[in-house]
Amino acid sequence: MLGLTYLFIVLFLISSIFILFAIYKVYKSNVFHINVKSIIFFILLLSISTSIGVIGILILEGHYQMNFTFTIYKVFFCFYVCGNNVATLNCALLIFERFLAVILSKRYESVSAQKFVVAFNIVAYLTIFIVIFDFPTSLVPLFTDQCILIIATISFPIHYHLHRVAIDKARNKFKEDAVFSLSQQYQNFENSKIAKKMIPFIFCYASCCFLNAMCAIIRHKTKDTTLLEVTKIITNVILVSRSIFTGIILLNFTMKNSIFDYVHSLFQKNTISQDITKHNNYVKEVDAHFNQLKDAWI
């Protein structure tokens, strides 16, 4: 089991390096609104908190057989739980921010909530840290986390529908007020771009969080040591996967075109090159055939 512990530590370190690169790209990026940028920045930063917590727990459990009776163990556990819970809160905040972007599309470009996002994350992190440190085995933060995530996931299709309605209204008003409509059309275009990129992120993050919650509930209820070890391994796999996918998908937010568009274009280029090769081979065959006919005629 110690070998598996080292493997997970290495994987979490690699995923953390990737997340740090994504944080740098988000910091340098200017392709989306400052509010979206701030929330994505904190989601990535909180992924680092989760990784630090898990790495600390793996080392303390694997080498020193520590548990919740040790203060240092509880501190790393708080890093892990706070990273998970506050990141989920930020996912919900991102969807709420997108609602505001649709509702206030006329003047949203001038609306900045960066200070609120920073204050929200600091207060949420410290509050959850204190609660978990005093009650480390409580499932209340877990259930709260899942309820918020369910509400956010359900709200996303509603947001997408409102966004489509806003686009239709902007198009209908274009002839009446061209200047106003152009400004609103720009905001609607940005909303469309971000909404499309949010779909894989919400799906991936929600799936990992629900699976992680199931494992946590099983660990809380069971006394079977084998099942406990299995759920711990599954949890670590889920967390590493989520960390990597979060980095990839949120890195995709910083690009003017989607990563998936680039992948699609690569396949397209490959298809075009194959078609050209087939065409050239066909032309050569036709030329060879006519040369044979010419030789036979002569």
Chain mean position to CA 239: 12
DSSP code string of 234-282: HHHHHHHHHHHHHHHHHHHHTSSS-HHHHHHHHHHHHHHHHHHHHHHHH
Query: Which span out of 59-68, 78-87, 104-113, 136-145 was modeled with the highest average pLDDT?
Result: 78-87
- Are the beta carbons of 145 and 213 closer than 8 angstroms? yes
89 and 197 fall within a common domain: yes
247 and 282 fall within a common domain: no
152 and 216 fall within a common domain: yes
211 and 289 fall within a common domain: no
Mean pLDDT of the chain: 81
Distances (CA, A) of 75 to 131, 134, 136, 219, 288: 12, 10, 10, 20, 77
| 199: confidence class by pLDDT, cuts 50, 70, 90 | confident
Q: What domain count does the chain have?
A: 2
247 and 269 fall within a common domain: no
Taking each helix axis from N to C terminus, what angle separates 259-297 and 225-253, rounded to the nearest 10 degrees?
70
pLDDT above 70 as % of the chain? 79
182 and 106 fall within a common domain: yes
- Cα–Cα–Cα angle for 126, 18, 141, rounded to 5 degrees: 30
155 and 288 fall within a common domain: no
Q: Tell me the C-alpha distance between 265 and 253, whole Å.
A: 18
174 and 269 fall within a common domain: no
What CATH number is given to the structural domain containing 88? 1.20.1070.10
Run of H or E including 290 = helix 259-297
222 and 277 fall within a common domain: no
Taking each helix axis from N to C terminus, what angle separates 71-103 and 178-221, rounded to the nearest 10 degrees?
150
Q: Is the dihedral of CA 40, 45, 48, 50 positive or negative?
A: negative
- Are the beta carbons of 195 and 159 closer than 8 angstroms? yes
pLDDT score recorded for residue 115: 93
Query: Which span out of 71-75, 136-140, 188-192 was modeled with the highest average pLDDT?
Result: 71-75
Instruction: Provide the domain limits for residue 251.
Output: 2-256
- Cα–Cα–Cα angle for 180, 185, 189, rounded to 5 degrees: 160
- Are the beta carbons of 49 and 122 closer than 8 angstroms? no
| 291: confidence class by pLDDT, cuts 50, 70, 90 | low
81 and 196 fall within a common domain: yes
Per-residue pLDDT tens over the stretch 130-156: 999 999 988 888 888 888 888 888 888
| DSSP symbol at 65 | -
Better pLDDT: 54 or 112: 54
Residue 263 pLDDT > 80:
no
- Residue type, position 5, single letter: T
Q: Tell me the C-alpha distance between 101 and 118, whole Å.
A: 19
107 and 222 fall within a common domain: yes
Q: Tell me the C-alpha distance between 159 and 94, whole Å.
A: 11
241 and 267 fall within a common domain: no
